Amino acid sequence: MKKYNDHSYMDSVHRSGRIWGIAIGAVLLLFPTLLSLIFGTLPNFEVLIKGVVATAPMYWAVGIVEIFTYVPMLGAGGTYLSFITGNISNIKLPCAIDAMERAGVKASDEEGEVISTIAIAVSSIVTTLIIVAGVICIVPLTPLLESPVLEPAFDMILPALFGGLAVVFVSKNVKLSIAPIILMLILFIFVPALDSSTVGIMVPVGVLFTILVARILYKKGVL
Amino acid sequence: MNFSVNSPILFVIVGAVIVLVLAQSVFFLLRAMRRAKELGIKTGTVKKTIVSAAIFTVAPAFAVLVGVVALSKSLGIALPWLRLSVIGSITYETVAAGNALEAAGTGAGTTITDPSVYIAIAWVMTVGIAAGLVLVPFVTKKLQSGLAKVGLKDKKWSDILSNAMFLGMISAFLGYVFCDVGLIVKGDASGLIPVCVMIVSALAMAICGTLATKAKIRWLTDYALPISLVVGMASAIPFTALLGG
C-alpha cells in the first residue's frame, strides 16, 4: 500500500468524524431549544438546575475519563461512532474486540481500525433499528419486556457478556491477566462503595494497572 | 401547540435525528468496507464481521429497549427513544431522568404534563452526558496519533499495550461481577447470581471454542460470543429463582 494512501485514509476518518460529531452534537443541543419554540415555554429552571447539579459533575468526570480510556481501544472510526451512539462498554467495545479477535487483526494496525469500525457501525445500525422496531411495536412488546420472568435475564447482561469475553482474552494472555483480575476481585469484594454505578470509574484503574504490569513483564522479557 | 409527552411532533423531530445518526453509521461502514478492500482484507472476513456483529447486538439491544419502556411511563416514548439511541446508556439515562424527575417532585410512575418540566428534563439528560459529544471531535486525533507513534517505535509493545487495555477493562467488569458476594455473610445469597451467570457464560464460551477447534465446527467461532451471552442471560432466570433477587 502506498504511503500517501495510508495517511489519507486516517486523515479522512478524522476529518469526517469531526464534521459528523459536531453536526450531530449541534442537533442534539438544538433539540430542547426547538421544544421550547414549539410549545412556547422556557424550561423550568428550578428542575433544570437541580437536575444538572445532581447529574452533570459526576457524569462529566466519568465522561472525560472514558474518552481517554476508550478512544485508544475503539480506534478512530469506532470512536466517532461510539461516542454518538453510546452503550460503549456493554455493546460497542465488546463487539469490536470480538470482531478483531476473530478476524485475527491487531487493534494497533490499520486492519484492526477497519474491522473495528465495521463491527461498531453494524452494531450501531442494528441497535438503532431494533429500538425503532421496538418503539413501533411498543404496545404488544411492553408485557414481554416488563415480564418479571425475563427481568433477571436483562439485569444480568454484563456478567453474561464479560464471562464469555474473559475466557477468550484470559486464555490468550494468562500471565498478564493474573495480577489485574486479583486486584479487581479484592477491590470489588472488600470496598463496599464499588458497585454497578462505580464500575465505570474502575475501568481506567484496571486499564492503567494492567498497562503497568504489562510494561514490567515486557521489560523482564516474560511477555 | 398543546403539549403531551407523546405528541406526534416529538416523534417527527426524534425520527429526523435518528435518521441522521443512522446516516453517520452507514457512511463510516461503507468507508471502512472500501478501505478493507484496498488493504486486501478478504471479503469473507468482512462478511463474517458484519453478520456476527449484527447477531451479537440483538440481545443487548433488547435490554436497551427495556430502558425505553421503563422511562416511557413518565416521559412518553419519544424522549427515551432519542436518549437511548443517541449517546445514552441504560444506566446513565435512568439515573439522569430519575434525578430530574426528583427535582420536579414527581415519581417515575407519573406522566409529565407540564411542558416546561419536560423541556428541563430533556436538557438535563442531554447536558449530563455531553462530555464525550463535546470533546471527542477535538481530542481523538491527538490521542490516536500518540498511540500510532508508539506502534512505529516498538511494534511488539504496541500489540501488548492494546491487549493490556482490553484485559484491564475486562478485569474491572469481572471484579464488578463479584461486588455483592459479601452479602452472603448476612444470609443474602443474591450476590452470587452474577457470579453464577458469569461462570455459565464462560463455560458456554469454552465449550463453543472446544467444539470449534476439536470437532472442526468452524462457523461456531463466529457466534460464540452471542451464544455465551444468551446462554448466560437465560441462566439468570433459574439462578434468580433459586438464590433470590
What is the Cα Rg of chain B in Å?
A: 22
Q: Is A158 within 8 Å of B176 when comparing Cβ atoms? A: yes
User: Per residue in A77-88, pLDDT tens?
Assistant: 999 999 999 899
- Indicate the angle between helix axes B130-153 and A3-39, nearest 10 degrees: 170
pLDDT digits (tens, 9 = 90+) for A121-140: 999 999 999 999 999 998 89
**Cα separation of A128 and B85, whole Å?**
6
Q: Are B178 and B105 in a shared domain? A: no
**Position A132 in a domain:** yes
- The radius of gyration of chain A from alpha carbons, rounded to an integer in Å, stands at 21
Cell 462498554 belongs to A89
Number of CB pairs < 8 Å for A and B?
563
HSE on the CB side for A2, CA within 13 Å? 3
Q: Tell whether B101 and B34 lie within a shared domain.
A: yes
Residue B227 forms part of a structural domain: yes
In a domain, A29, yes or no: yes
CA-based nearest distance A4→chain B, Å = 13
CB contact under 8 A, B62 and A145: yes
Same-domain pairing of B128 and B160? no
Residues on chain A touching B103 (C-beta within 8 angstroms): 46-47, 50-51, 54
Task: List the single residue in A with minimal CA-CA distance to B225.
Answer: A164
Separation in Å, CA B110 to CA A9, A45, B80, B95, B105: 50, 20, 15, 16, 10
Residue A172 lies in a domain: no
Give the 3-state secondary structure of residue B121. Answer: helix
- Within-domain flag for B161: yes
Q: Does B163 map to a domain?
A: yes
Q: Which residues constitute the domain of residue A118?
A: 1-136
For residue B194, being part of any structural domain is answered with yes
CA distance B90 to B96: 10
Residue B72 lies in domain: 8-134
pLDDT in tens, A138-172: 889 888 888 999 999 998 999 999 999 999 989 99
Residue contact B124–A47, C-beta within 8 A = yes
Query: For residue range A106-121, what is the model confidence (pLDDT) as tens digits?
Result: 888 899 999 999 999 9
Q: Could you report how far apart the first and last alpha carbons of chain B are, in Å?
A: 45
Indicate if B196 and B88 belong to the same structural domain: no
Say if the Cβ atoms of B151 and A108 lie within 8 Å: yes
Is A167 within a domain?
no
Is the residue at B31 inside a domain? yes
pLDDT of residue A29 exceeding 70? yes
Domain annotation covers residue B2: no
Are B236 and B193 spatial neighbours (Cβ–Cβ below 8 Å)? yes
**Could you give the ipTM of this predicted complex?**
0.90
Q: How many CB atoms lie within 10 A of CB B146?
A: 10
Q: How many CB atoms lie within 10 A of CB B14?
A: 21
> Which chain B residue's Cα is nearest to A75?
B144
- The rounded distance, in Å, linking the Cα atoms of B229 and A160 is 5
Pick from A55, A164, A189: CB nearest B182: A189
- Which residues of chain A have a CB within 8 Å of the CB of B8? none
The answer to whether the beta carbons of residues A97 and B162 sit under 8 Å apart is: no
Residues of A in contact with B76 (CB under 8 A): none
pLDDT above 70 coverage of chain A, percent? 97
Is B145 domain-assigned? Answer: no
Domain count, chain B: 2
**Would the pLDDT of A197 be above 80?**
no
Cα(A55)–Cα(B157) distance, integer angstroms: 39
Q: What pLDDT was estimated at residue B12? A: 96
CB A112 within 8 A of CB A75: yes
Instruction: Give whole-number Cα distances, A155 to B58, B67, B173, in Å.
Output: 15, 11, 14
Which residues of chain A are within 8 Å of residue B233 when distances are taken between CB atoms? 153-154, 156-157, 160
Q: How far is B78 from chain A (nearest CA, A)?
A: 9
A163–B151 CB contact, under 8 Å:
no
pLDDT band at A59 (very low <50, low <70, confident <90, very high): confident
Chain B closest CA to A119's CA: distance in Å? 5
Main-chain phi, psi angles of A141, to 5 degrees: -80, -30
Overall number of domains in chain A: 1
pLDDT for the residue A160 = 95
- 3 state SS of B71: helix
One domain for residues B79 and B16: yes
Partner B, chain A 40-69, Cβ-Cβ below 8 Å:
40-48, 50-52, 54-56, 59-60, 62-64, 66-69
CA angle B203, A148, B192 (to 5 degrees): 40
- Regions of chain B where pLDDT drops below 50: none
> Is the same domain home to B196 and B164?
yes
| Cβ–Cβ below 8 Å for A180 and B171 | yes
Do B130 and B14 reside in the same domain of the chain?
yes
Q: Residue A157 in contact with residue B60, Cβ under 8 Å?
A: yes
Answer whether residue B184 is part of any domain: yes
**SS3 label, residue B88:** coil
Is residue A36 situated within a structural domain?
yes
Q: Is the pLDDT of residue A7 over 80?
A: no
- Out of B70, B90, B197, the one facing A159 most closely (by C-beta) is B197
Same domain, B164 and B115: no
Contacts of A187 in chain B (CB under 8 A): 175
Output the nine-digit C-alpha cell for B65. Answer: 429497549
Cell output for B40: 486486501
Residue A117 belongs to a domain = yes
* pLDDT bracket for residue A2 (50, 70, 90): very low
Give the residue among B188, B96, B228 at the shortest CA–CA distance from A156. Answer: B228
Is residue A15, in this structure, part of any structural domain at all? Answer: yes
Contacts of B69 in chain A (CB under 8 A): 138, 141-142, 145-146
pLDDT band at A27 (very low <50, low <70, confident <90, very high): very high
Helix or strand (DSSP H, E) at B159: helix B155-177
Show the 3-state SS of chain A: CCHHHHHHHHHHHHHHHHHHHHHHHHHHHHHHHHHHHHHCCCCCHHHHHHHHHHHHHHHHHHHHHHHHHHHHHHHHHHHHHHHHHCCHHHHHHHHHHHHHHHHCCCCCCHHHHHHHHHHHHHHHHHHHHHHHHHHHCHHHHHHHHCCCCCHHHHHCHHHHHHHHHHHHHHHHCHHHHHHHHHHHHHHHHHCCCCCCCCHHHHHHHHHHHHHHHHHHHHHCCCC
Q: Residue A1 has what pLDDT? A: 42
Query: In A, which residues are within 8 Å of B52 by CB distance?
Result: 98-99, 102
Report if residue A33 sits inside a domain: yes
C-alpha B78: how far from chain center: 20
